[in-house]
Chain A
Amino acid sequence: MKRLLTRLLLMLTLAPVASSQAMDWLRETPMLQQRVDAGELPAIQERIPQDVRVVNLLGDQVPGEQGGQMRLLMGKQKDIRQLVIYGYARLVGYTPDLELKADILKSYEVVDNRVFTLHLRKGHKWSDGHPFTSEDFRYYWEDIATNPELSKGGPSRHLVIDGQMPNVEYPDAYTVRYSWPSPNPYFLTALAGPAPLYIYKPAHYLRQFHARYQSAEVLDEMMKKYAKRNWMSVHFNRDRPYKATNPDLPTLQPWMNTTYPPSDRFIFERNPYYHRIDQNGRQLPYIDSVAINIASSKLVPAKTGADESDLQGRYLRMDNYTFLKTGAKRSNYDVRLWKAAKGAHLALFPNLNTSDPVYRELLHDVRFRRALSLAIHRYEINQVVYFKLVQESNNTVLTESPLYKPEYKNDGIEFDLEHANRLLDELGLTRRDDRGVRLMVDGRPLEILVQTAGESTEQTDVLELIHDSWMQAGIKLYTIPSTREVFRNRIFSGDAIMSIWSGLENGIPTADYSPMDLAPTSKYQYQWPKWGSYYESSGKSGEAPELPAVRELVALNDQWTHAGTHQERVDIWHRMLDINREQMFTIGIVNHVPHPVVVNNYLQNVPVTGFYDIIPGAYFGIYKPDTFWFEAARR
């Protein structure tokens, strides 16, 4: 309460300062001072927007000073997009409390979830100094998204609701309005995504590659230069803000790539026109540059242990924890344990679309799925594989989500062989062979082949333990390792009876986050790939769901899309979570798995704990890496 009060007071005192033209409290960035003095770069007053975003660092987060270079390790050249994720400058973005807040935008208004009015910051500039205005939104909508040559399939699916395109208006240079005839609940979440929907593009830069603005001769030359077959490919290749492979492409992110690929080391430098400053008038990011070194992903833990990274979470796993801790004694870093935000770290996915009719009938029966869950000794798995550091849980929302209810997590996860055996007997699986394995109606033994993508021994270890306890329920489990592509194809085709993979991507959703992962909406949902494919293709491929409960989930998901109020969405979420609890379409095993994060001791403002996952937190993104800073020894 006291903290809230001080925060309010501070905001009150700072707000008028920020909005007034008295900008003398701003301090020039030391790294840029020379270029400003030489006249190559305007002074800070002209670089930042007039409606600058002031970030107040309070509590555990303290304002710092600018300078220094942060080292990161990545496994592939493609991974440099991680810095676009970490940077997390979005039109609207999530706060650590998972509320949506205007970021690049000054503000936005929403009417009925249909009409979105976006207000830009006056004087906001791209990283090359060109003004960022509604023209950049117009360019995206008219010259890219609805250009029949550049976007053959039309705009992104988040922008087309019930087959309807939005009406996009640009009342003035700082206002953009998107309006749909029916609600679009995906719009803001898509803008805030780790891989965001870019509805703005640097028009002044990209025009030179566009057939509408550029002569055919020049385009011909460009096609030759970039080894492309047509101008669309050149445009596409130059315009990949998420990939960060084109250093010439202006950006709004805190750091911009300055290295042309291919390389094993990429330097991202501070964006001199970035739109956030701290309460002391220092422009963010604090850290001048980020060096990404590419090393084989298997070497990343060893290199991290040798103090070659300042902030590392990627490619570290729980099994590296003891090694990293040992290394911390001779190197200058701290190992912190963050948590994964997935609904289940590991879950079994019974393939309800399996092509074997006997197994399909069994898997369609909720009593069978429940018996499988009851016959898993999750406590033992927690002890043996995870050193009792994780939570035994269904594949559902985490305790931190506002939608959490204890029964979602706990229903049916107790180890109860007696109950499991009773359920299986009820199903008529009473005959057994000489191994004690139950026989199915056609006389075949009840053997369940669980597909794994063969990526870690952790999955096979867990399956080995499940094998032992299932055996006591008369079910024989076989682990079938393969490669990721084969694994997926077996599931899609219906060859697989069951698979093991991670659960819900976002375990800490709010009611405004789409519940589509709980209903068959995508073929990548391993419990019902064909039903998902049916929904995704509007009935062109896949199969229509036959189970009533699944049909209800599809209907609820559609209802959510059209829901007018927050309360309605909350109710729909709970209904869907409850159906999933009751029906146990996926069998969650554990969640809240710790993830080691290595932080250099000189690096300040990195939270001691947090959620380490791409959705919804963009890994470090929502914790604002632009406010991390180095102590003087490393500047």
Chain B
Amino acid sequence: MTWLLEAVAVLLLVTLALGLIRIWRGPTIADRMLAAQLFGTTGVGLLLVLAELQQLPALRDVALVLALLAVMAVLAFVARVWRQESQDATEEGPRE
């Protein structure tokens, strides 16, 4: 069973590394933020697997905190960063 958990952890790490490409290239800042959120969720999964693999229950608490912080980051981004930028730009969004 251990080798399977190790394989799962390695594959999750690979997806983390692939997600970094989008953070690097992302055309808009929102794309980078979405990739960062995927990064956070993958990290949570990785921590849960590692907690089982290494018999470290504390890692589950770390996963819980990381899940909370990931959503806080996105909330702060939408509420603060993107709104302030859009006040400078002209408002010509498509309305329906």
A and B are interacting partners: no
A residues in contact (CB < 8 Å) with B? none
